Structures are given as structure tokens and as C-alpha cells.
Chain A
Amino acid sequence: MTSSLGPWFDYTVNGLVVGNIYALLAVGLALIYGVSHLINFAHGSVYMAGAYIGWLCITYLGTPLPVTLAAVVIGCGFIGYLIERVGLRPLQNAPRIAPLLATIGIGLVLDQVAQLLFTPDPRGLPLQLPAWRIQIGDGTIGALDLLIAGIGLFSALLLYVFLRFTKLGWAVRATALDRDAAQQCGVDVNRVNSVVFAIAAALGGVSGFLVGMYYNSIDPNMGFQAGLKGIIAQMIGGMGNVPGAIAGSLLLGLTESYGIAIFGTSYRNLFAFVVMLLVLVLKPNGIFSRGRSLPPEPLTGTFIAPSAPVRIPPMLVAALAIIALALPLVVRNGYVLQTLGLGWLYAVLAISLTLVAGTAGMISLGHAGLLAIGAYASALLAIDFHLPVAATVAAAGIITAILGTLIIFPAFRLRGHYVTIATLGVGEIVTLTILNWDSLTHGPIGLSGIPPLSAFGMPLISGTWVYEIALGALIILALTQWRLLGSHLGRTLRAIRDDDVAARSYGIALDRYKSLAFGVAGFSAGIAGALMAHIFSYVNHETFTSQASLLALTMVILGGLGNVAGAILGAIALVSLPELFRVLADYRMLIYGVALLLLIRFRPQGLLGTV
């Protein structure tokens, strides 16, 4: 059984085969980023759509492979066109965070629609190719591996010819380099955008179809993870750099394969995210770039929308707080109190995020990582050291403040999209570290038997207590943060957000202020995580995923970035809405996605406005 070439040869082949698959996705993402300066989180969903279009053709029409491929190209190209035309173009003049969130919403909607149409069950996608396999090393390679590599190379070549030698290709490159200047040469950049989205979506769809055949399995949720890998790959290769995306994909495939070889299978994604973060910090332009300097973000428009915040009189705030505190006297339903209590805890998370994302301008997609740190810190202190819960919760706040700031620190010099991706990576790294650091965290088994919240030895588990404790924590933390924002610190942070170059030139020590912001935010998020751990009595690595980060960011945007009252409103709305939508059962997430899109479309500055 042992081969002459040894396992390393096999690991290398495996890495290249997988990288090959990532490449088809990464190329499309790079094209889109190049032209629109947009990370398209909906790309994974188009990949899924490609797989289903292929499946429909084969199952119902019995089409041969070339026809199936053509149908996937056309179908997904059209979906890509629609995404740009209907979903993104209306946001052209919105702040650039808006289209980013819109792609997330579109992805959610597409996945949910597919789930409703095709059921969530995975389906087989029969291979339309001869089944022969070539022995390479100890493993084998099949016709489909070669086809995938062939299509990868062929589309790269086609793309090269298109970009180099056609007029439209030149327009694409010019638009990518300078959108305004391209317009001034008479380029209809909207059309270019449509074309690029169509091409990228066609590529993404083909890769979804091929991968579906490759694994003989497709399902409506197959896109998210795949899209994420594509994003990492193109980040490694350099955002918007097409050849870089291909090289980055192969490198990512190899890194994962070698990571598995050395550390074991469950380290795969940890490796992928660590490599991405290293590249982001050391070579933000991708490993093939020369400089360490950040690529310029577009000159027009800002990442965050400026707007006039809605002023809420302090008396009204005080009155609302008292009404909220007194609510359990009237409402006795444990379910309602639990839901609102969770809402208050999410509000703590949201005010924490709105401080770093809104006030300090670092849009974070990894904030749930802070919740996880707080939850584990408090739970472990309570379980392993039998400390009283009140003490462990406070300690969790401090531990999260310190640890959170330290792990985000390397990302401080990044801006715009780069922060978003870096924090997404940090969040995943926290989760994956929890999963793999068995001796401390009990790995996948998680922590069960976490003692409930208690005071003076008395457990406080009723819905009323959950509600009051969460609300109490929120009021204290929100007041603190509100005072802080009115101070010199708040003004300095906003100055950094609006123009960090200018802020630096006034002699503001950016790192120190960003650390302060993250410290305060980490404390709040840590408290929220700790309280959640004691309320749930069980946490594991999946309790606080990127979905929770995304939810938190949506809350913050819904309320208005940097706006404390807005964050609280957003949290309560987004925790309660899905509960109200419960009657809709299977349609719940779809409606949530649509609501998110409508919000971004019609009120990108949030309900209460950006501060």
C-alpha cells in the first residue's frame, strides 16, 4: 500500500485538486472586486444556483454535458445580471457598506428560495463523464479533475483574451482602475458592471455545477462555505487581481492539505483563516504585490453614510428605561420575557459593535468571537474554579476586553473592506480555536452544566430574571458608552473614522484610540457573552458563529452606525421580528432576508441615523 512517492506527493496533489475548485470561484470574485470594489458575498449562492440549474437540466431534460454547461452559463449569467441590476445598482450612491450588506442579503434570499424550491435535502448530481481514474501516487485523479482544471485554465485564458484584446475588455479594466475616468472616456460603467457580474456569475455557476458533480451532492446551503473560501483565496492572491486569485486558490488548497497532514483534519479551516490574516497584515495587496502599502480605496463616496442622527430627549430615554424595567410586572409570559431578555443581551452586543464599527469606523464581521470569549471565560471560571457567577461575569468582561483587543490589534492598520474580512477571519479563528483547544474548552463537546445566574447563592432562572438582569447590564453599559461618546474620546474616534490620514497628521495615536475602543467594546461584548452562557447553560463552538456576527452588524446598521439608541432599537427589532415571523415557519429566513434588503435600499443610514 505504501507508494514510492510518499504521502507528501499525495497531499500536494490533493491540495492542487481542491485549489483548482476554489479558483473558479475566486476568479469571479476578483473580477467583481476589481470593477466594483465590492466583495460579493452572494457569489456562493450563485454557485449553488449553477449546481441546481445543472441538476434540473440533467434530471428533467436529459441534456448532454456541453448543453448542460451552456445552460448553467446562461442561467447564472442572467442571475448575475439581475443581482447587479436589481440589487446593487440602486445603491450606487449609497455608502459602500450598503452594497456589501446587500450581497449578504441577496445570498440569504437566494439560498432560502432554493431551499423552498428544492427542499433542504442534498441531492445526487450524476456524473456526465466516463468514470475512469488515473493512478497518481497513492491516490487517483478522474476525468472530472481534468475537466475542472481544463475549464479553469480555459476560462482564465478566455478572460485574458477578453481583457487584453477586446474593447469591452479594455473598458472593464479601465473601469476597475478608475471608474470616474472611464466614464469620462464615454464608458457606460453600468453596462460594464452588468457584464462583469454576468461573467463572474457564469463562472461561479459552472464551478458549482462541476463541484456538485464532483461530490455527487448538491444542497441549498452549499454556497456559503464555498464562497467564503473563494473570498479567502482572492484575498491571498490580492483583491481584484485575476491571475492572483488563481494562484491564491492553489496556495490555499495546498496550505489546507499540508495543514491537515501536519496537524490533523479539524485544523483545516483554522489554517485557511490564519494564512488569510497573515497575508492581510503583512501583504494586504496579496502575496504577489511588492509594497506593504494599502491599495487606495475609491476616491468618491465614503464607506459609512453621513447623516443627521435623530435626537432623542434624555427624559424620553429615562421614561422608556423605567417602562422597560417595569414591564415584567405586567407581562408574565416567560416566552415574551425570554425573547426580550435575549433582545437586551443582543443590544449589549450591538452597542459594543456600534462603538467599533460606527464610531471607530472598523466594520467588524467577527464580533461574535468576543461573545464566545466572554462566554467561555465566565463558564470555565464558574465550572472549573467554582467562583460565584457575579464574579465570573465581571472577570469575563475584563478578559474579553484584553484578549479581544490583542487579537484584533494586527488589523488596526486596515481600512474599509479589509477590516471587514480580517475581522471575519478573527471571528472564525476564535471559533476554530475553541473547537481545537480540547484541554481547555472541551472541544466539540462544549461546556454543559454551566451554573445559572445567581445572587447570594440563589439561582435566578425565571424569564423575569433573565429579562431584568439583561436589561440592567444594558442600561449600565449603554449609559457608560453614551457618556464616553460625548467626551474627547468619542470625538477623536469619529475623527479617525472620517479621515484617519488627517487624524494621524494631527498627531493622534491611532492604535491607542482604536485599542481603547476595542477594549470598551470587548468588555461589553464579554459581559453579554458571559450572561448568555449562564442563561443557555450550554455553549459550544457553534453557539457564536459568523451568523451571530452578521446579525449583530445588521442590528447596528438598522439602528444607524455609531448610534447607541439605534443599536438597542435594532437589536430589539431583529430579535423580535424573527419571533413574530415564526408563524411563517419555512419562510421565516426568506422574509428576514427581504426585509434586510429593503432596509438597505430605502434607509441605508439606519432608522435613527449615523452619529
Chain B
Amino acid sequence: MTDAILKLDRINSFYGPIQVHFDLTIEIGRGQIVCQLGGNASGKSTTMKVILGLLKPRSGEVFLDGQPITGLSTPQIIRRGVGSVPEARRLFGAMTVRENVLMGAYTRSDRPEINTDYERMMTLFPRLRERTNQAAGTLSGGEQQMVAMARALMGRPRVLCMDEPTMGLSPLFVDHVLELIQAVNREGVTVFMVEQNASLALRIADYGYVLQTGRIALSGPARDLLHDPRIRDAYLGGQAA
């Protein structure tokens, strides 16, 4: 991959004395859907935190469009075109759906354009239109996922980072969310997503990385990974790599 919009270069990250990432290197190609797979506690969410500047790596760099962003604060990184759909959605539960979605446009000040984008979101996620003034915390899991995606997209990100977007959703909704991700990607947004459900993720992704206790155990085009026999071991968190 030559044209990486986002690149993690030999990241070593820690929580206190505990090391999570060991020389982690990931490249995310412009316009692609890239997924990060791995078992529980393999460090997937921590990768997101490193990209978003919520956790500073002890060594290594994160590049956005070739520029290092490692030292920047989270809001600064968001302003540079990274969108985030956090693990477990993390909506502002007591605020309305409308307020949640518009919070996504916090970094922007182009009022008319924001309104247009808001309308587009309501078209993309028609279920939300009926619930604009409902507190976000009272929505179902799938609806919350839509709010989280709409919120992230309102910032007009160039890269959308999604941490387990299908977690806890009914199978019907899982398919729907995956379709939405593809739709977003078709509009030119690069998607970097974390998934535990490898086969689902690889079905829509272009490229995949398999993480095992903080190291890349396996990577390659999604199609290859889908058929790789080792994927099952890694995804189950086995030792072999």
C-alpha cells in the first residue's frame, strides 16, 4: 500500500507498567475499508485510543496524510478529519438524538452546511428522524449505533474509526450496519474498523490485520484472510501464529 491516509509506525503503548502494543505497525489505505481483528484484550480498542490521541504511545508515531499527529490532543486530531464511533457507542444519554448528532459537528461553524448534512443523516438513517427529540439513552442498541455513526459523520471525517460497531446488535441489524458502512465508504470515507466477528468484517473489508496480544499476527487483503486457515486460531486467541 503506497497511499496510506493513516499509518501507525512501530507503536509501543502502555497502561502504567503493562505493555499493550509491541512495535505495532498498521497502514490504512485511502478510500479503503480496513479491519482489525483479534480476540478479547488483544489491544484492538487501545489501537483506536492511540489513533485518537486518548493514549500517548511510549514510542512510535501515528501519521495522518504523512503528517505526525502523535503529540496532538484528541480534539485537534478530530479537527484534522478523523471521526470516531467508540466502543459501546458512548452516546450522550441524557441529550436528545438531534443534540447528539449535532454534537458531531462541534468542530464546524458552517451553519447552512451543517443543516444540509443533518438532513442527509436523517435520510441515511430514517429511523432517527422519528426520534429526534427522544433522549439518546432510551433508544435500542441498533438505533444507538446509527446515532453514533451519524454523530461521527457530521464531522465530515476523511477516516472513520469504528470500534466494534456490530457489538450487541441483533443479526438483522448487523447486516444493516455493515451495509451502511459500505455506503459511507462509497462516499469516499476511509473506514478503519475493529471487529471480533472476523468473517463478517472480512466480507466487507479490503484489507485486514489480526492482532494477538499486541502484535500483528497476520495481515493481508481481506479476501486472502477470509480463506486463511490460521485465521481461526488467531481469532480465537490461540498461541500459534
Q: Do chains A and B touch in the complex (CB under 8 A)?
A: yes
Residues of A within 8 A of B (CB): 167, 170-171, 173-174, 177-178, 180-189, 306
Q: A174-B103, A306-B16 are in contact. Are A184 and B95 (CB under 8 A)?
A: no
Shortest CB-to-CB span from B193 to chain A, Å, is 15
Shortest CB-to-CB span from A193 to chain B, Å, is 13
Complex partner residue of B54 from A173, A180, A188, A306, CB under 8 angstroms:
A180
Complex partner residue of B94 from A171, A177, A186, CB under 8 angstroms:
A177
Separation of A189 and B78 alpha carbons in the complex (Å): 13
B93 in the interface (beta carbon within 8 A): yes
Complex partner residue of A183 from B75, B151, B155, CB under 8 angstroms:
B75
Chain A residues touching B, majority SS? helix
Q: A174-B92, A178-B90 are in contact. Are A184 and B78 (CB under 8 A)?
A: yes
Q: Which residue of the partner chain B has the closest CB to A308?
A: B17
B 94-127 contacts with A by CB, 8 A = 94-95, 99, 102-104, 106-107
Residue numbers in A under 8 Å from B54 (CB-CB): 180, 183-184
Given A184-B84, A186-B155, 14 more pairs with CB closer than 8 A? A170-B95, A171-B106, A173-B94, A174-B92, A174-B95, A177-B92, A178-B90, A181-B91, A181-B92, A185-B103, A185-B151, A186-B106, A186-B107, A187-B106
Residue numbers in B under 8 Å from A185 (CB-CB): 78, 103-104, 106-107, 151, 155
C-beta contact mask, B154-184 vs A, less than 8 Å → 1, else 0? 0100000000000000000000000000000
B52 in the interface (beta carbon within 8 A): yes
Contact A186 B93 (CB under 8 A): no
Shortest CB-to-CB span from B117 to chain A, Å, is 14
Residue numbers in B under 8 Å from A189 (CB-CB): 75
The 7 A-B pairs of least Cβ separation, nearest first, read A186-B107, A186-B78, A181-B90, A183-B74, A184-B84, A177-B92, A188-B75
B67 in the interface (beta carbon within 8 A): no
Residue numbers in A under 8 Å from B91 (CB-CB): 178, 181
Contact B90 A180 (CB under 8 A): yes
Residue numbers in A under 8 Å from B84 (CB-CB): 184
Chain B residues touching A, majority SS? loop
Q: Which residue of the partner chain A has the closest CB to B80?
A: A186
Residues of B within 8 A of A (CB): 16, 52, 54, 73-75, 78-79, 84, 86, 90-95, 99, 102-104, 106-107, 151, 155
Separation of A170 and B151 alpha carbons in the complex (Å): 14
Q: Which residue among B16, B106, B107, B151 has the maximum number of chain A CB atoms within 10 Å of its CB?
A: B106
Separation of A306 and B17 alpha carbons in the complex (Å): 11
Separation of A196 and B52 alpha carbons in the complex (Å): 25
Q: A186-B75, A186-B107 are in contact. Are A178 and B52 (CB under 8 A)?
A: no
Residue numbers in B under 8 Å from A183 (CB-CB): 52, 54, 73-75, 78
Separation of A178 and B92 alpha carbons in the complex (Å): 6
Q: Which residue of the partner chain A has the closest CB to B148?
A: A181
Complex partner residue of A173 from B52, B74, B92, CB under 8 angstroms:
B92
Contact B106 A184 (CB under 8 A): no
Contact A187 B92 (CB under 8 A): no
Contact A184 B86 (CB under 8 A): yes
